[in-house]
Amino acid sequence: MAHWPDLASRSRELYERGLKVLPGGITRTLPWQEPFPVYASYGEGAYVVDVDGTRRLDLLNNFASLIHGHAHPGVVQAVRHQVGNGTAFTLPTEQEVALAETLCGRAESFEQVRFCNSGSEAVMSAIKAARAITGRSKIVKAEGVYHGAYDYAEVSLDSSPSNWGEDPNSIGYSKGVPKGVTDDVVVIPFNDVEASERIIRANAADIAAVLLDAAPSYLGFIQVSPRFTDMIERVTREIGALFILDEVISFRSHTGGAQTLLGIHPDLTTLGKIIGGGFPVGAVAGRRELMQIYDHRQGKPGLPWSGTFTANPVTMTAGKVTLDLLDDSAIDRMAQLTSRLVGALNQAFARSGFPGQVTGFGSSFMVFGHQRQVTDYRSGYSSPEETKRVVALQRALTLAGFHIARTGKAFLSTPMTEADIESFISAVSRIVDARLEPVGAGVVS
């Protein structure tokens, strides 16, 4: 039987079919790898089985959205029951109230919740809410930090030394971004307290909100410093802007999110991924007086926000079961496994001479193809050669039975065992030990 990446594999057959009806053959760019992606058949716990029957430890978990891995029995049972009773209604349901109550019990700043269908939508909604509340147009975001697909939130996501400037420039991410978009985004250097405060204050009268991730995935989940969040809290209050904390990924770090773990006090928080239990979801949570911008009871709200599948009972059901199963001990256990993994991989790299490093936060980690200390986007920025090292390692891991992202990002899930983690550490060690010379084009060809 053929297996990826054999040309006779079932994955190759599906890719060829996809090329005829999908741009580039696939819908999401994340799973792409040469010469064609691995196609999934089914998942079970911490593992995913591809269409050719190969079983791999899944350290992607649909990019951090499956905190309990694949097909958790409790989630499956609840969802099956709900699907039998209907998947979506125009009418509100008890399930949306129940998930909102669960979320509001998790973090001090969560007094009310507005649901949507993705983390990108949540960020869009929060930015629009901040503009509606303040009457201002500009937002502030950190250079190189991912906040979803909204064009304002994408600014300076992948700026490079050729265009990023001394103070960060506002650089559109995709082609055709209007100048009006980049003009309304102020970019700051992550964790640089003095420079960021100076840049924010220079635009103070026009700023609606500062958008921040406490452990940005594109920066290797490097943790925000207390001095930096203290400055953001203080300055936003002084200039009358809102502080939006993006916890779409970082909410998995604590039952009350990174804000509870790190003592951060945002005005609004964006959520997604794990709160939907494996189904499309997003949410904005915040203080009651700010969330009133969505309230329709006095006529047209300051921010009308709805959606055909928003708060559908399948997502709401799966999300509540997922969060109810996610207690402190489960989160602590994943964090301990991640800490063990990060330390062991860095030791393996040092022993083999592989010019890379691993950083992490909570149950998330990232492999870099360099050894510079990462404190912000520019220190973490990888050259093409450094990027190739990580891509080559990722490919070798795919062949060895493990899924991580081509960017080096990965996420643990609760079904993972110590044996799973040790097998991953052993596989990485074997791969980097196999080639002791500098790895430019890749660990494997």
- 347-375 tens-digit pLDDT: 999 999 999 999 999 999 999 999 999 99
Inter-CA distances, 395 with 238, 240, 349, 413, 433, Å: 49, 48, 17, 21, 16
Backbone phi and psi for residue 364, each to the nearest 5 degrees, phi listed first? -120, 145
Domain residue ranges in the chain = 8-66+325-432, 72-323
Mean pLDDT, the chain, whole residue set: 96
Q: Alpha-carbon distance 251 to 212, whole Å?
A: 13
Mean of pLDDT values over 207-233: 98
Mean of pLDDT values over 421-440: 81
pLDDT of 116 strictly over 90 = yes
Beta pairing, strands 242-246 & 207-213: parallel
Q: Alpha-carbon distance 374 to 372, whole Å?
A: 6
Residues comprising the chain, all counted: 445
Backbone phi and psi for residue 434, each to the nearest 5 degrees, phi listed first? -70, -25
CATH T-level topology, domain 72-323: Aspartate Aminotransferase; domain 2 (3.40.640)
Mean of pLDDT values over 365-392: 97
Active site residues: 146, 246, 273
> pLDDT for 74-101, tens place per residue?
999 999 999 999 999 999 999 999 999 9
In contact, 156 and 141? CB cutoff 8 Å = yes
335's tokens: 């964090």
pLDDT of 441 strictly over 80 = no
Report the candidate in 406, 402, 376, 400 with the shortest Cα–Cα distance to residue 168: 376
Q: Is the dihedral of CA 184, 188, 190, 191 positive or negative?
A: negative
Mean of pLDDT values over 256-261: 98
375's tokens: 């404190």
Q: Give the count of beta carbons closer than 10 Å to the beta carbon of residue 287.
A: 15
CATH T-level topology, domain 8-66+325-432: Aspartate Aminotransferase, domain 1 (3.90.1150)
Same fold for the pair 8-66+325-432 and 72-323: no
